[in-house]
Structure 1
Amino acid sequence: MNNFVDETYKRVEQIMNANNLNIKTFEEKVGVSNNSIGTAIRRKASFKSNVLNKILNAFPEVDPAWLLTGKGTMLLKDNNFYSEEPDAVYKNEKLDQLIKTKLIRLLSEDENIKDILLDYIQKEVKNL
């Protein structure tokens, strides 16, 4: 069994530091309730998935795999995905695919999660 310790709060602090944001400003940018991030950091608590999604939406340059696991680097290699250029839709789709691919790869490394994912996929295929 894997002795996983969730230290996502440390990586959230790194994002705040890299962007020179205090907790209040970070919470406003992410769109979460007042002091929810600060409380989680002080308690060294896990973040719910909806908060992690809000963080990734507010900071699209942050590598989701890094945020979840600490593996790799904070920033995506090509941090010019989001843009106002005419090909922005293509770039956003490319980023979405990259995120999905990285998350699937990470999740499939854990045997328990891999089994859960396979069961889920099989149920979904049967419902098609």
Structure 2
Amino acid sequence: MVDFIDDTYKRVAKIIEVNKLNIRSFEEKIDVSNNSIGTAIRRKASFKSNVLNKILHAFPEVDPTWLLTGRGTMFLEGSSHGLVQEPPSSYEVSMLNTKIKENLLELLSKDEEVGKLLNVQIENIIKSKTS
């Protein structure tokens, strides 16, 4: 099994800090329950994909690759962080969701156990489609 240390909580804390938010206002902005983010940061826990998706939706200037892996820079190239922005279009949200899924699949595929489970699931889907 591949050793994988998930430091996503550190990057979420950095987003909070850079945006000059407290944890409560951050939780409200991404629409999650009270203390869920603060608790995860204190426990150095990983975040579920739905929470990461909410973060990226609320902060479209944050690079999904950076949030998931720590690679690259915090902000997408050409983003206007700190400036008033129009809400993202449905196309931008769709592209962001696609990029998140691709990055999650890349990370998961590096883990042998997860890879085996994914292969079994794919085989089951193919069998059900051909039946």
Shorter-chain TM-score: what band?
Answer: 0.7 to 0.9
Moved over 6 A (4+): none
User: Compared with structure 1, are the counterparts of its residues 45 and 95 closer, same or farther at alpha carbon in structure 2 (3 Å cutoff)?
Assistant: closer
- Work out whether 1:113 is the aligned partner of 2:114: yes
TM-score w.r.t. length of structure 2? 0.74
Deviation at 1:13, TM superposition (A): 0.5
Query: CA contact under 8 A between 1:65 and 1:106: conserved in structure 2?
Result: no
C-alpha change, 1:115 and 1:18, in structure 2 (3 Å) is: same
Q: Work out the CA distance in 2 between the residues paired with 1:55 and 1:114.
A: 26
Long gaps (5+) in structure 1 = none
Identity of aligned residues (%): 57
Aligned residues: 125
Distance 2:28 2:62 in 1: 18
TM-score by length of 1: 0.76
**1:87-126 equivalences in 2 (<5 Å):** 88-126=89-127
Question: Aligned residue for 2:12?
Answer: 12
Q: Partner letter of residue 119 of structure 1?
A: V
Structure 2: segments with no counterpart, 5+ residues: none
Q: Which residue of 2 aligns with 1:74?
A: 74
Residues 1-28 of structure 1 deviation map (CA, whole Å, 9 limit, x = unaligned): 3332222211110111121111111011
Quote the RMSD (CA, aligned, Å): 2.6
Which protein has greater RCO, CA pairs closer than 8 Å, 6+ apart?
Answer: 2
Q: 1:25 to 1:49 in 2, by over 3 A?
A: same
